Amino acid sequence: MGKIGVIQFPGSNCEYETIRAIEAVGGQADLLRWNVSETVFHQYEGYVVPGGFSYQDRVRSGAIAAKLPIISYLIAADLLHKPILGICNGCQILAESGLSPNTAQQHQIEMALTPNEKDHLPVGFLCQWVFVKIVHPEKSVFTPFFKPNDVLPIVMSHAEGRFVLKPGISSDELTCVSYCNEQGEDMVSQNGSFIAGLCNSKGNVMAIMPHPERVVFSHQLPFNLSLKWAHAKEQGAGQKGPWEALFKAMVAAAA
End-to-end CA distance of the chain: 5
CA dihedral 106→77→163→240, nearest 10 degrees, is: 160
- State yes or no: residue 190 binds other proteins (CB under 8 A): no
Strands (E), 142-214: 151-158, 162-165, 175-180, 195-199, 205-208
CA distance 248 to 66: 27
**Checking DSSP bridges between strand 84-87 and strand 46-49, what pairing results, if any?**
parallel
Active site residue 88: yes
* Site membership for other proteins, residue 69 (CB under 8 A): yes
C-alpha 253 chain-centroid distance: 16
Active-site residue, selected from the candidate residues 14, 15, 45, 88: 88
User: Could you tell me if 194 and 148 are in contact, meaning their C-beta atoms sit under 8 angstroms apart?
Assistant: no
The residue count for binding other proteins (CB under 8 A) is: 34
| 96 given a catalytic annotation | no
| Closest to 179 in 3D by CA, of 206, 208, 205, 199 | 208
39, β-bridge pairs: none
Instruction: Please pick, from the candidates 115, 129, 184, 194, the single residue that binds other proteins as defined by CB under 8 A.
Output: 115
Of the residues 45, 91, 160, 211, only one is catalytic, namely 211
Q: Using the rule CB under 8 A, which residue among 55, 179, 229, 247 binds other proteins?
A: 55
Does position 71 interact with other proteins (CB under 8 A)? The reply is yes
Of 32-40, 43-51, 112-120, 142-150: span binding other proteins (CB under 8 A): 112-120
Positions 127 through 186 that interact with other proteins (CB under 8 A): 164-166
Q: Which of the following is catalytic: 15, 96, 213, 244?
A: 213
Q: Give, in degrees to the nearest 5, the angle at Cα 30 between 54 and 102.
A: 55
**H or E segment to which residue 111 belongs:** strand 111-114
- Let me know: does 177 contact 135? Beta carbons within 8 Å: yes
Choices 34-42, 70-78, 182-190, 225-233; region in contact with other proteins by CB under 8 A: 70-78
Nearer to other proteins, 32 or 111 (CB): 111
Contact residue for other proteins among 48, 66, 84, 177 (CB under 8 A) = 66
Among 56, 149, 235, 239, contact with other proteins (rule: CB under 8 A): 56
Q: Is 110 a catalytic residue?
A: no
Residue numbers annotated as active site: 88, 211, 213
Binding residues for other proteins, rule: CB under 8 A, are 55-56, 58-60, 63-64, 66-69, 71-72, 75, 96-98, 106-112, 114-115, 117, 119-122, 164-166
